[in-house]
Amino acid sequence: MSTRSVHDGDKSLHYEGAINTPIFQSTTFAFPTEEPRTWNGEIPDGTYIYSRDSNPTVRAVEDKLASLEGAESSLAFSSGMAAITSALLTFLQKGDRLVAMQDLYGGTYAFLKNEMSRLGVDVTFVPTTDPAELCAAIDGRTKVLYLESPTNPLLKLIDIRETCRLAHQKGCLVMIDNTFATPILQRPLELGADIVLHSATKYLNGHSDVIAGFVAGSRKDMAMVHLRRKLYGGVLDPLPAYLLGRGMRTLDLRMRKHDSNALAVARFLESHTKVSKCIHPGLASHPDHELANRQMDGYGGMVTFEVKGGRAAAERALKRFKIIAKAASLGGVESLASMPVNTSHTSYSSEERQKLGIGEGMIRLSVGIEDPEDLCQDLDQALN
């Protein structure tokens, strides 16, 4: 995976010996010798005409992600939400039904709850990660089963292989958001999923300076998504594609450090007197710990914990951090902390958050690549 991260997708040596893939900051490209009228409406593979359709710099990162996920094809988007919404709108239409986990990223939940119904798609949220219960909700009108694993922010896992097996028995397409794990720690296509989604803004880029998204899957499915990307316009620009490719070159290296740091921080927080609950798949106390060992190549860089004293105590801790930044994102080399109640999950009502287990004093911590002892000391002084 480390070799793939560095080399796959980059055809840099084809461009005058450059080590890095150049930024093709061009909206349009000169026609090749063959006139377009001979193409019968389809542009030949590897031919670039207009950057809303395809661009060499963007194609390089698409090929890299496809290699890492083990996908036949991948498409880059201008944001994670552009990737998610374009994929969903490709396979769903008025009168169709979608089944989704209840525990999702807030932006995804808001789109499914508010926009899908407006477009005539029925959405059923199932408050469980049990494969049998999830798939029991699939009926003849259900076209898509939508999953996250690990979930945001509660870090629940779902048995991807078993869920896909049951969903496919009912003829249902399975989409899964793999943002938290990345293909370094988990490859859902190998476990039976049909389409993998990413907010590439997070770990794939890893430097908190690019907004981007990915959809990956079979060539047939990606051809359908590609058409919607052209129509809806959520294409990634060449410059952020270049920065994304630069970040992805160190993905394996960074994810291993995020993973080991997060486990060290989680073990520290689990025994802290000011913490009532710590959630991390690497902890033996996590209900899905054994599943993580079977399904993943690591546990991830996210740690979620509840501060004793509720919201006021959590807000006080956030204000006292010295190394950890107070910011609403994740996956960068720097550690970031936020409260889901007022950032990522504001689209859920207070009652919905309570049912899911998202408490008022919950902090979501994206553990960076700093020295873990420094992070634990920062947490300790902020909590005490």
What residues are labeled active site?
52, 105, 177, 202
Which residue's entry shows tokens 């396979």? 91
Q: What angle do CA 323, 299, 152 make, to 5 degrees?
A: 75
| DSSP 3-state of 198 | strand
- What are the backbone dihedrals phi and psi of residue 197, each rounded to the nearest 5 degrees, phi first? -120, 150
User: What residues have CB less than 8 Å from 20, skipping those under 6 apart?
Assistant: 10, 12, 242, 246
Which two three-digit tokens encode residue 201? 């803004």
- What are the backbone dihedrals phi and psi of residue 17, each rounded to the nearest 5 degrees, phi first? 80, 10
Reference 203, options 73, 366, 81, 337; nearest CA is 366
Distance CA 311, CA 208 (A): 27
**CB neighbourhood size of 19 (10 A):** 8
Give me the DSSP letters along 62-126: HHHHHHHHT-SEEEEESSHHHHHHHHHHHH--TT-EEEEESS--HHHHHIIIIIHHHTT-EEEEE
